[in-house]
Structure 1
Amino acid sequence: MDNQTLMKQMHSIQKAGNNVTLRDDNARAFWLDQIAQAGTLPKLGTYFALSGTGSIDSLGVKSRTLKKHQGAATTADGTDIAEEGSVPFALTPLYLDTWIENSNTFYTARTRGQDVRQALLTLMQQQYAADTQDLAFNGDEASSDKFLKLNDGFVKQAKAFGTNAGFSKLDVAKLPTIQELTSFTAEIEPRYLRAGQYHWFMSQATAIHYVNELQDRNTALGDATITNGQLTNIGGYGVEVVENMDNDVIMFSTYENFTLVTGLNVTLTTAAQDSVAVAKQATYHFMLEDVDFVIRNKKMVGIVTVKADAGK
């Protein structure tokens, strides 16, 4: 793409403000394209809400529901295979407003062969996806940090479950050994372990800790796997390294149990160029979406937290 084409496209964006609200199918496609920019988000469950508040079905099914067919004497009384009803959600409107320098836009458009508008959207989607993943796991409405307090993430929700209703929780003074993690998986009821493909969710630093533990062993025990220098398996379950996840927590669950709930509207606005934009040599952009984070079945999640006072 030559400079003349880039300048013409940029001029058309700067000439007048653009305000677009994507709905339904377009909003769904935009959201899926957006979260694909993050490492873990596209692997999680996604639910498109029709309203700001509501509920989604819990994961899991009842066991031992089969019955013997009695021919004409069979009673069609039906069997309720729903496990737990539903889990509530409440969407939070979150926006990203940013100044994007013209030079960054030109570089991105030229190297990727995109037009200017697509380059701008890509830059915004990347940042929104990174922040959404950060908030999805680390969000805490009780935090004093203005970003983290936007919404409760999966870690905060899991910690709040406590030890009731079959919930699996382990508080330790230091990161458990690989053998201890393998034993921890037995805390999850077997029927839930069979209900989906479980993974360990942890930070990069925590994963490196276990890589070092494995390398310090005299012999391999077969309870963990390193592939190309990366920890990929513990106790027969895959390892998902989550960017920006806290180092003092490990979660054990399925991808589907961690669900991103989003609304059907996406608002995109590019402000018309003014004296401030000229001085900055940049364009101002605004993106608004509604988001919530839901754990669909508390019995299908385990959490290990490292606390300095644990065991005292």
Structure 2
Amino acid sequence: MTNVLSNETLIKQMNAILKAGNNVTLRDDNARAFFLDAVASAGTIGKLFVHFAKSGTGSLDKLGVKKRTLKKHLGINTEDTGTDIKEEGTVPFSLVPVYLDTWIENSNTFYTARTRGQDVRQALLSLMQAQYAADLQDLAFNGDESSTDAFVKLNDGYIKMAKASAEVKVEGTKLPTIQELTAATTRIEPKYLRQGTFKFFMSQATATNYVVELQNRNTALGDAVLVDGALRNIGGFGVEAVESMENNVILFTPYENLAVVSGLSVTLTTAAQDSRAVAKQATYHFMLDDVDFIIREPKALAYFGVNATPEG
């Protein structure tokens, strides 16, 4: 049963936090917990590969392991040559410092605390985590350092990287048909198709395009599946509808191939109450983290996009 806190208790908790402000740097386990709790609240990014970096630059192992590593045992004549099971090669990362500063209304804090049976500090943290997760997922897919948009240019995301490096690229003046999507999956080498659970990543609007295509067919071809009106499967592979993902772009790859790299520390600051906070009836919060987004193996990736103008 949810523990309902009284308004008096919530106000006392809020005042204790705001009396002199609050500034804390979460390290190691606490920072990892904060980050993992945050991404878990987002629809897609919590399913991706997460790596916690020990420094601002470094590298990740590429997706996959070597095949056919078994050897015949020769008894006492067996040599301890060993086999490195990791796939050859690594992919570099470079963390980018990002911050979130936000005003959270007192009414939202109290509502969240009461409905979840949390104290005020937990409620504020969960509200910040939800905002951070939404922004992180948006940036992870749509980021483009060449953009003039202050948010988008923070870091390159999966779409931009995929367009530049994907093993399979399909571009045209309109979205590919379901049959064209299915056919393109065969262009990924079988050894990479075995490396994880491949999905078609797309926005909800793009997925709706294929729902319409299916509904307009005279007969079903068995190459796609609708469940309760939602697109769930194309050519035997699941569909991941990504909130905030750019429309008219599709990525075909396993969850494990899209990596989110985070630093080992997260700084959280709550400002002391001043006249501005009183006027707003809100609290001001600042969060600092370091992140990067990595595609671990371009050979396990297909990119589908729509050109603004016809080719040629």
Does 1:44 find its partner at 2:52? no
Q: SS state of the match for residue 139, structure 2?
A: helix
1:276 is matched with 276
Matches within 5 A, 1:1-312: 1-161=5-165, 167-312=167-312
Please give the root-mean-square deviation of Cα atoms over the aligned residues, in Å: 1.4
Listed one character per residue, the Cα deviations across residues 126-169 of structure 1 (whole Å, up to 9, x for unaligned) are: 1100000000000000001000000000111111216xxxx111
Taking the aligned partners of 1:202 and 1:267, their CA distance within structure 2 comes to: 33
Distance 1:201 1:63 in 2: 27
Q: 1:77 corresponds to which letter in structure 2? A: T
- Offset of residue 117 of structure 1: 1.2
- Secondary structure of the structure 2 residue equivalent to 1:77: coil
Give the drift of 1:170.
Answer: 0.9
How many residue pairs get matched? Answer: 308
Alignment check: 8 A CA contact 1:171 1:310 kept: no
> What letter is aligned with 2:8?
Q
Unaligned residue ranges in structure 1 (runs of 5+): none
Q: Is the 8 A contact 1:263 1:289 kept in 2?
A: yes
CA offset digits 1:195-243 (Å, max 9, x no partner) = 1110000000011111111111111111111112111100000000001
| 2:111 partner letter | Y
* Contact 1:27-1:264 at 8 Å conserved across structures: yes
| 8 Å Cα contact 1:139/1:148 also seen in 2 | yes
Q: What percent identity do the matched residue pairs reach?
A: 68
- Offset at 1:81? 3.5
| Residues in 2 aligned to 1:182 and 1:191: alpha-carbon distance in whole angstroms | 18
Q: CA deviation at 1:310?
A: 4.3
SS of residue in 2 equivalent to 1:303: strand
Shift in Å, 1:66: 3.4
Could you tell me which amino acid in structure 2 is paired with residue 199 of structure 1? Answer: K
Name the SS for the 1:187 alignment partner.
coil
Q: For the residues of structure 2 that align with 1:76 and 1:310, how far apart are their CA atoms?
A: 59
Does the CA contact (< 8 Å) of 1:198 and 1:252 recur in 2? yes
Q: Give TM-score scaled by structure 1 length.
A: 0.95
Relative to the length of structure 2, the TM-score reads: 0.95
Q: CA deviation at 1:61?
A: 2.3
* Secondary structure of residue in 2 paired with 1:125: helix
